[in-house]
Amino acid sequence: MRPEWVDYNGHLRDAFYMLIFSLATDAFMDRIGLDDAGRASRGRSLFTLEAHINYLHEIKEGTAVRVEASVLAFDAKRVHLYMEMFADEGTEPIAASEQMLLHVDTTHGAKSAAFDADIAGRIEAMFRDAPKEARYAGRVIGLPSGPRAASASASASSGLSPA
Amino acid sequence: MRPEWVDYNGHLRDAFYMLIFSLATDAFMDRIGLDDAGRASRGRSLFTLEAHINYLHEIKEGTAVRVEASVLAFDAKRVHLYMEMFADEGTEPIAASEQMLLHVDTTHGAKSAAFDADIAGRIEAMFRDAPKEARYAGRVIGLPSGPRAASASASASSGLSPA
């Protein structure tokens, strides 16, 4: 976590949680064989199609974080990755993100392509090892009763527990 | 868009789309009266609870972008904001994001609080002006048939149209 990532509240700005998850996705790519060398020699890469993030706890400047990643699903060209971020030695996540990643052939522009067999094998191994629970996956963003006026119920609950 | 936001493909890294949306959320806060001065004098702020982002087109370094924001829903303490990002003079979005924002009292830690009446009025005005269509709102991330093996159908479609 870097000083310039902090917002006016002294906390990590929302987008920089996403940057940490993005760097964790790079680590996932390294793990399955799509590191710098693998991307260059194969002419392949992963593109993020879609991402969802839940902000669960604030963190202050200087906090060390770690990310745990698992594969929730995959097909010939796509991986559904699930990640939870933890602060220091914490056991409760401070943020969670799920992402849909597309495998692309980058040799002529960028065109979706099937995973090479060895890469698919490593993804499948992670899928088999994935924990059964992905608490913040599959969510839809919305207010419980849909659009309504400000005079409506103020019983809004929140998952936010500021640190 | 800044040079250090570019990834190894020469394109804007996924997390920096989110930073642009985060800066657009700051502009939304300014618009409803929660700018720097408003936050300080009222002891209030908005926290992001949850965000969803769709990556529709890649953009290269130096591209100018603009964001259009609208209010899809709100209640006494929360706003459901929808944003689309456009490149240069483009009319098709290059990314879309919906976010759930919580209004908090920051005078003693951070505790959810009802909007002040004038702020709620400005949010309601934006809600009344919102376009009827929010093409990328309400989405769930997942593969069509759920978890499956790599040997399954390779008929994956994708919204990505690399530039």
In this predicted model, what pLDDT tens digit does every residue of A121-139 receive, in sequence order? 999 999 999 888 899 999 9
> Across the interface, which of A53, A73, A111 has its CB nearest the CB of B143?
A73
In chain B, residues with a C-beta closer than 8 Å to the C-beta of A15 are 15-16, 18-19, 21-22
String of b and e for B94-108 (b: at least 16 CB within 10 Å)? Answer: bbbbbbbbbbbebee
**CA gap A163, A11 in Å, rounded:** 10
pLDDT tens per residue, range B40-76: 999 999 999 999 999 999 888 788 999 999 999 999 9
Within a domain: residue A163?
no
* Mutation target among A1, A9, A13, A14 for the B interface, most CBs of B within 10 A: A14
Nearest-Cα distance to chain A for B148, in Å, is: 6
Whether residue A152 lies inside any domain: the answer is yes
Please name the member of A80, A111, A160 whose beta carbon is closest to the beta carbon of B47. A160
User: What pLDDT shows up at residue A163?
Assistant: 34
Q: How confident is the model at residue B131 (pLDDT cuts 50, 70, 90)?
A: confident
Stretch A17-32: mean pLDDT: 96
Instruction: Give CA–CA dist B28/A42, Å, rounded.
Output: 43
Pull the structure tokens for residue A14: 């929302």
Asked if residue B163 is part of any domain, the answer here is no
- Interface A-B, measured as beta-carbon pairs within 8 A, has a size of 214
Binary contact (A142, B143; C-beta < 8 A): no
Instruction: Tell if the CB–CB gap between A80 and B148 is shorter than 8 Å.
Output: no
- The model's pLDDT over B9-48, given as tens digits with 9 standing for 90+, comes to 678 889 999 999 999 999 999 999 999 999 999 999 999 9
Name the band, by pLDDT with cuts 50, 70 and 90, for residue A4: low
User: Residue B106: its chain A contacts at CB < 8 A?
Assistant: 9
The shortest CB-CB distance from B74 to any of A16, A45, A150 is to: A150
Residue range of the domain that includes B79: 3-158
- Note whether residue B69 is domain-resident: yes
- Structural domain includes residue A75: yes
Residue pair A22/A84 in contact (Cβ under 8 Å)? The answer is no
What's the pLDDT tens digit per position in A93-105? 999 999 999 999 9
Contact state of B138 with A140 under an 8 Å Cβ cutoff = yes
Q: How far is B89 from chain A (nearest CA, A)?
A: 23
Task: Name the nearest CA neighbour of A142 among B79, B23, B136.
Answer: B79
* DSSP state letters, A65-129: EEEEEEEEEE-SSEEEEEEEEEETT-SS-SEEEEEEEEEEE-SSS-EE-PPPHHHHHHHHHHHHH
CA distance, residue B82 to nearest chain A CA (Å): 11
Maximum Cα–Cα distance across chain B: 59
Alpha carbon of A48: minimum distance to chain B alpha carbons (Å): 7
Q: Which of A98, A146, A149 sits opposite B141 (nearest CB)?
A: A98
Each residue's pLDDT tens digit, B89-120: 899 999 999 999 999 999 988 899 999 999 99
* Total domains present in chain A: 1
Q: Taking CB atoms and an 8 Å limit, are B76 and A19 in contact across chains?
A: no
**Residue B6 carries which DSSP code?**
B
Is B58 within 8 Å of B13 (Cβ atoms)?
no
Could you tell me if residue A130 is inside a domain?
Answer: yes
Residues on chain A touching B16 (C-beta within 8 angstroms) = 15, 19
Q: Is B60 within a domain?
A: yes
pLDDT at B118: 97
Give the distance from CA B98 to its chain's centroid. 5
Indicate which CATH number applies to the domain containing A110: 3.10.129.10
Looking at residue B103, its pLDDT comes to 97
A24 domain residue, yes or no: yes
Residue B158 confidence (pLDDT): 37
